Amino acid sequence: METSPAGTTMFAVLPATTYYTQLIQRIEQAQRAVTIVVFLIQMSAETEALFTALEEAARRGVRVNLTFDPFSRYYNDNSSLPPHRLQGRHFASTAAALDRLAAAGADIHELSKLGLNPYRGRCHTKFSVIDDTVFAFGGVNLYGSGLASADYMLRLEHPALAHQLHQLAVTIASGERQSDRALPIDANSTALIDSGRPGQSIIYDRALEWAGQSERIHYVSQYYPTGRLARPLRTTNTICYINRVDQVQAHVKMMLLTDHWRTRLANHYRGQRYLHAKFILFELKDGRKALLAGSHNFSWQGVVYGTQEIALASTDADLWQQLHQYLQLEIAV
């Protein structure tokens, strides 16, 4: 495990394209295992190098495990129709790439099918583990527009967490029922796992706890903070960065307009890229700084639908500063 002089884990904040470059490099160097759990993955000109690296790793004997959500079959960047109405144009090339991966020896797991409500029960979790290297606690999906979004992943070297996430991927792929849980990383940081039980979220609960203890909050997400979380953010000195209605597909615009009206939170995002990053920086009343970073959008709808999520809860001052700097350079511009 790579640690700082104080004995805490060293995290690195990687913008989406940097994450993708480092991910491929680590897969090319992998000796034992590659595990990727992602919401969306598609074959395209932007992701061809990833599929090639995974296939070559599997052929040289590395255990390759890829788990993804069925939204990958249907999602289409350029359509205003909801995902369950689409058969994405990328489907044939992605299916062929997955077949080649399976033939090379990789384990491929597509999760549960879409139902009448296509958003219920989704695996929104994203992490990649290559041997002892963990890329997690961000929102990057592995397809063209996903890599072009304003987004990030965290990198850390942590054998114990790497093992736990390899095992989590197996559990997710099996469909076995889980409970929400916390995985300690060090004295300051804990991985929080939402199991996907409707109405229950250890991540959302921690956001509520820290929001109630804060004097200032920096909020970043695709969506407005709905449910009980909206009130402490509204009554605290909070600066929000959320996608504008001109940046989203037609079926999301009404949700953003409605949630803006309900929460009465001002949106400070002026960037041109689609905002897909999800984190909250808390400045607590006792002088400490805390953060939540991961795949959770902090929207109550996702909790009700029972989405599976992962996030980092941390009071690591160095990581807080890194995310604050990322906010200033990539989002608050």
Other C-beta atoms lying within 10 Å of the C-beta of residue 24: 16
Residue 81, pLDDT score: 44
What are the sequence ranges of the domains in the chain?
12-178, 189-331
Residue 113, pLDDT score: 73
Q: How far apart are CA 93 and CA 107, in angstroms?
A: 18
| 178 within 8 A of 195, measured Cβ to Cβ | yes
Q: How far apart are CA 107 and CA 146, in angstroms?
A: 23
Strand, coil or helix: what is 89?
coil
Residue 177, pLDDT score: 81
Residue 51, pLDDT score: 97
Residue 86, pLDDT score: 46
- What distances in angstroms separate CA 293 from CA 31, 167, 173, 232, one per listed residue? 29, 21, 23, 18
Over the chain (333 residues), the average pLDDT of each successive run of 10 is: 65 98 98 97 93 98 95 62 51 88 96 74 94 98 94 97 96 89 96 95 98 98 96 96 91 90 95 96 97 97 93 97 97 92
Tell me if 12-178 shares its fold with 189-331. yes
> Rg of the chain over CA atoms, in angstroms?
19
**pTM confidence score:** 0.93
Residue 4, pLDDT score: 55
Q: Are strands 63-68 and 107-110 parallel, antiparallel or unpaired?
A: parallel
Q: What single-letter amino acid sits at 226?
A: T
| 212 within 8 A of 232, measured Cβ to Cβ | yes
- Domain 12-178 adopts which CATH fold? Endonuclease; Chain A (3.30.870)
CATH node for 189-331:
3.30.870.10
